[in-house]
Structure 1
């Protein structure tokens, strides 16, 4: 395994780091000021569109998509360090580069499973950053950690599917630019194979019967980076049968294909969040004095910083190994490592952010530093894309199987 950056990765890293310094970090306070003046908190601040235009001009666009026809054609190993850099400003950088969830996963689904017509109607404007999208899977009435529990019905009537159900924490749904949902529901609820009961369909947001009821907060934050999270009701919403993604009964498999790359993207961005936390800790430690000496001279603070550095270096190597395996043996061959980083990374980064908040005192939980917002995002990722316990259960079974 060789994790040295190749020439293309190094060149993109240098350009992206410069873009962050010159455009993204200065735009953070501007975006907050502009958002406070918007008619709706979900409207996009003008500075975000300016960032998108500049990123596209610089060729820092759709870096996540390995398909060279639609994206940058990067491998997972090439994209991983770039995703880490964007994680340092998760509210702005991924969106600026058109590399923000849930659009990334939705574009991957459409690129891999969409028909030519679906690609033309939805994938192309998503790739151009002209519209946003949402992924409608999680439901409030069932334990959605087990996707086979999903109760939303997709019933065929002639040339249409009729969709009935309620979803929540549907990322992207509050954004006024969100025009399309990829919805997962059951086309065969009584089927013998519980992993063949589900299908995915494309549901335009303006479809009669689709109601975005309310925004769902995360620790009191409204997650603007993903276009918000929403509760959405589908009350006999009708779409053409041509809106089926892939085949009937293929929804579970498509979901697994979608979540593999997404998990590694999240984990690399988490490492970027941890790096920013370490930077803020160090700046705070050398600038503040308590009990007659700088915080940087306090033993407990030194331990926090040292432990954080060791943890980040360990996590980065594990994530890079996972990316390398995904490139060389595929997602199935990297299953153990994908689950391992999903378990380890959010948990460790939450701890680093918690210590950074502690070091900043009252400022750490305030809006004057990004730490509280970063903490909310990192803690959420212990639930998103499957809670940690589900991955622990699966990973343990795989380990025990060797001895049974």
Structure 2
């Protein structure tokens, strides 16, 4: 399909695809076959090769060692890295590092960028975003946020209980969402505080066991449960404006949802390609499976929906350059999450016993993709936002029409 991406976007995505095919996918297959994880040294070697090919950190400005792609231009590359379990890691575009880099680049101070952003981009340090809390804390309803950061002189005193803090086990610093004005509505009284991992009171409770969790690298960042117990950090560690934490998080999550969509669409594309190759070789009931009409139609439906998802994401990305594009992003996220779930489920079904075996990556993809309907906003939350927009829009239009009609009736009555 031709999506009319810019020439620069297509050129970089083409180089990323070659890098995946020539270097990354062979190493992934070897790791799956032998069960030996990819070492930190090997990952750094991939980074060096990505730099040599002008592929490293494509989403970051050149002054930090990235490729300087704008948001829309980097989406095709994110789809290419999604084809591999280690693709995003290989070019330093993996979550949550990519989102945290973007956050610091957008709203960080010069000092924060010098101390934290540059080494983060280069892979010298790691980070985590600590927002979600155990019940009854902030989750799908972020207004329920319980974490606090109270000023004491020129310091914040942070108290928080978080979980699902991705890469929390290995992080050198955390971006912590906490309420900083308890008298204000959470949307106006919440801030993001940068907390170094070695600060007194930072506690990693555990790595949460979860669906998937099959990292084939030695980087066991995990999804940590964290506690921040009277952690003191300077007020200068506020990321963005005080009280604007939700606005900053929305900027981070909006773009992050779209990059996730493209990574998962790449995952779905590879799964379908594996399934089609398998169907063309596997014989049953007198013909190869790719000649069975029911399977052909299901593959056709999956390809159609995946095309629609890619188109939606690109449209949302263009809108995001002009506005917050909240509804466009929500629609793209919930649609792509379900489309990629269904496509990978179909690919696994087509491959039968080979699909549930882990010689192929489909079983790993299958475990990964199910979480996508929950992370970055559950389906139900996005549907709620879309529904409110839809019904509010209709209601406003109908009220305006009714008022206009009423005015016309009164004018007619006066004429009479």
Question: So what's the TM-score if we normalise by structure 2?
Answer: 0.88
Q: What SS is found at the alignment partner of 2:268?
A: helix
- Which residue matches 1:50? 45
The answer on 1:83 being equivalent to 2:78 is: yes
Contact in 1 for aligned 2:125/2:172 (Cα 8 Å): yes
| Contact 1:48 1:92 (8 Å CA) reproduced | no
Q: Which residue of 2 aligns with 1:204?
A: 196
Taking the TM superposition and a 5 Å limit, the aligned residue runs for 1:267-306 are: 267-306=261-300
1:342 is aligned, of 333, 340, 356, to 333
CA distance in 2 between partners of 1:220 and 1:396 (Å): 31
Structure 1, 151-160 or 346-355: larger mean CA deviation: 151-160
CA-CA distance at 1:88 after TM superposition: 0.5
2:413 equivalent in structure 1: none
Contact 2:373 2:379 in 1 (8 A): yes
TM-score (norm 1): 0.91
Take 1:50 and 1:57, find their aligned partners in 2: how far apart are those partners? 11
Matched with 2:252 is 258
Q: CA deviation at 1:69?
A: 4.3
Pairing of 1:351-362 with structure 2 (within 5 A): 351-362=342-353
In 1, the alpha carbon distance for the partners of 2:101 and 2:163 equals 21
Residues in 1 aligned to 2:253 and 2:9: alpha-carbon distance in whole angstroms: 24
Q: Deviations over 1:59-86 (max 9, x none)?
A: 1012123x45444332222111111111
Residue 41 of structure 1: aligned partner = none
Contact 1:223 1:229 (8 Å CA) reproduced: no
> What's the Cα RMSD here?
2.0
What residue number does 1:369 align with?
A: 360
Count of matched residue positions in the alignment of Structure 1 and Structure 2: 390
Shift of residue 8 of structure 1?
Answer: 1.6
**Deviation at 1:32?**
4.9
CA contact (8 A) 1:30 1:47 kept: no
Q: Using a 3 Å threshold, how does the CA distance of structure 1 residues 34 and 227 change in structure 2: closer, same or farther?
A: farther
Q: Structure 1 residues 102, 336: closer, same or farther in 2, change over 3 A?
A: same
Q: Structure 1 CA distance, aligned partners of 2:177 and 2:116?
A: 17
> Partners of 1:154 and 1:5 in 2: how far apart?
43
Structure 1 stretch 8-17 or stretch 126-135: which is displaced more?
A: 8-17
What do residues 304-345 of structure 1 show as CA deviations (whole Å, max 9, x unaligned)? 211111111111111111122223x23x2x222111101100
Work out the CA distance in 2 between the residues paired with 1:174 and 1:150.
Answer: 22
Specify the SS of the correspondent of 1:253: helix
Aligned to 1:218: 210
Once the two structures are TM-superposed, the CA of residue 240 in structure 1 deviates from its matched residue by 1.6
Change (3 A) 1:162 1:56: same
Is residue 144 of structure 1 aligned with residue 168 of structure 2? no
State the shift of 1:37 in Å: 6.5
- Alignment CA distance shift 1:194-1:173 (3 Å): closer
Change (3 A) 1:181 1:375: same
Q: SS of the counterpart of 1:381?
A: helix
Report the alpha carbon displacement of residue 401 of structure 1 after superposing the two structures with TM: 1.7
C-alpha separation between the residues in 1 aligned to 2:215 and 2:388? 35
Asked if 1:129 corresponds to 2:123, the answer is yes
Equivalence for 1:400? 391
Deviation at 1:224, TM superposition (A): 6.2
Residues 160-179 of structure 1 mapped to structure 2, 5 A cutoff: 160-175=155-170, 178-179=171-172
Runs of at least 5 residues in structure 2 that lack an aligned partner in the other structure: 396-416
Q: Is 2:181 aligned against 1:188?
A: yes
User: Does structure 2 conserve the Cα–Cα contact (< 8 Å) formed by 1:349 and 1:378?
Assistant: yes
Question: CA separation in 1, counterparts of 2:365 and 2:37?
Answer: 23
Cα offset, 1:13, TM superposition: 2.2
Task: Report the Cα offset of residue 222 of structure 1.
Answer: 4.2
Tell me how far apart the structure 2 counterparts of residues 115 and 87 of structure 1 sit (CA, whole Å). Answer: 32
SS class of match (1:362): helix
